[in-house]
Structure 1
Amino acid sequence: METKSLYIVRHAKAEEHSFSKRDFNRDLIGKGRERAHSIATELSPLVTIDEKTLVISSPANRAIQTAEIFSTILGYPAEKIQTEINIYEAYYLDILQVINNVTEPYESVWIFGHNPGLSDLTNYLCNSDIDLLTANVAIIELEKDIDFASASGSTGNLKTILTGK
């Protein structure tokens, strides 16, 4: 079995919270778009995007906009991005459930979402102690013979975190 990879991506920098706009509808700001573009460009030569790649995003504006920037640069068809409400403002085990529901033939899964859920998920899978900042990407390889359905605590190896710095 091919080693499975998870790419955990926190959305890029978004508008400040305000009373005039629901949190769900907050958009990326220019600086956020630039950082997402820069990190996706840095990632591009390191990843293979093909029919065994699945992108799942929180449906919140800032997450889906980040997923679209990455998809454009990495060559993933934007219309194939799946949205999953269970990633928005989610507890890490709810996000893990989304990953556990992924079936073959996928070998890499990209999750675009929010903190603290994504950092907590990364730490749970990899026994790490990290805090993903906006637009950061945690690259996780699952242990040999672990598929997405059986991913759980301590089954991942944190390869790197791309910060765009």
Structure 2
Amino acid sequence: MKTLILVRHGKSSWDYEVSDKDRPLKERGINDGHLVSTAFKNNDIKIDFAFSSPANRAFHTSMIFLRNITFDFNKYQVQEALYDFSGGSVQEFVKNLDNTMDTVIIFGHNHAFTSLANTWGDQYIDNVPTTGLVQIKFDVSKWDELTKGTTEQTIFPKYLK
């Protein structure tokens, strides 16, 4: 069994003249990161490895989230392939994961995450919102065998407020 957890970055700010990769989180994005990670922590799921897009908003979201669930940062990497909006690069990245890892969490971007949640999960999601979490379980032993899985849970900030 393989489990993939997709977390879209928190709400970002457009208040600064910086590149897309450097856009920071808004206060709402920070607060939602705490809210979603606290709700997720209650599930007590063992994560083997965490990956983040190098974009500031995704990286910052991952730091908030992983600290709140007391994650071991020796099992964390920033990956350029996750700075993807279509989903193709993320899909290729996931299919090439080390098969010794059973549960992986990825922090990244839309439209990629909504597209992959609908491609791989069994519940249609119109849009994964900022700081939205989608957890999908697959009945396979290798990441490159992923096809359709079961959407086990979604945690969206608006339902926690």
Same fold (TM over 0.5): yes
Aligned to 1:26: 23
Q: Pick from 59, 66, 70: which aligns with 2:61?
A: 66
Contact 1:49-1:75 within 8 A present in 2 as well: no
- 2:45 is the alignment partner of 1:48: yes
**Percent identity of the aligned residues?**
24
Choose 120-129 or 95-104, whichever is displaced more: 120-129
Taking structure 2 as the reference length, what is the TM-score of the superposition? 0.89
Aligned to 1:111: 106
Aligned to 1:12: 10
How many Å separate the matches in 2 of 1:29 and 1:135? 12
Question: Which amino acid counterpart does residue 25 of structure 1 have in structure 2?
Answer: D
Choose 85-94 or 118-127, whichever is displaced more: 85-94
Equivalences for 1:1-165 in 2 at 5 Å? 3-16=1-14, 20-49=17-46, 53-130=48-125, 131-142=127-138, 144-152=139-147, 155-164=148-157, 165=159
Contact 1:15-1:28 within 8 A present in 2 as well: yes
Contact 2:51-2:79 within 8 A present in 1 as well: yes
Residue 79 and residue 64 in structure 1: after superposition, are their counterparts in 2 closer, same or farther (change >3 A)? farther
Question: Which amino acid counterpart does residue 43 of structure 1 have in structure 2?
Answer: F
Question: Which amino acid counterpart does residue 44 of structure 1 have in structure 2?
Answer: K
Question: How far off is 1:73 after superposition?
Answer: 0.9
Contact 1:33-1:69 within 8 A present in 2 as well: yes
Question: Which amino acid counterpart does residue 113 of structure 1 have in structure 2?
Answer: G
Structure 1, unaligned runs of 5 or more: none
Name the count of aligned residue pairs. 157
* SS of corresponding position for 2:42: helix
How many Å separate the matches in 2 of 1:106 and 1:121? 19
Question: How far off is 1:120 after superposition?
Answer: 0.2
* SS of corresponding position for 2:134: strand
Question: How far off is 1:128 after superposition?
Answer: 3.7
Question: Which amino acid counterpart does residue 13 of structure 1 have in structure 2?
Answer: K
RMSD, aligned CA: 1.6
Question: How far off is 1:54 after superposition?
Answer: 1.0
How many Å separate the matches in 2 of 1:134 and 1:61? 14
Question: How far off is 1:30 after superposition?
Answer: 1.3
Taking structure 1 as the reference length, what is the TM-score of the superposition? 0.87
Question: Which amino acid counterpart does residue 95 of structure 1 have in structure 2?
Answer: V
Question: Which amino acid counterpart does residue 5 of structure 1 have in structure 2?
Answer: T
Contact 1:68-1:78 within 8 A present in 2 as well: no
Choose 111-120 or 155-164, whichever is displaced more: 155-164
Contact 2:4-2:104 within 8 A present in 1 as well: yes
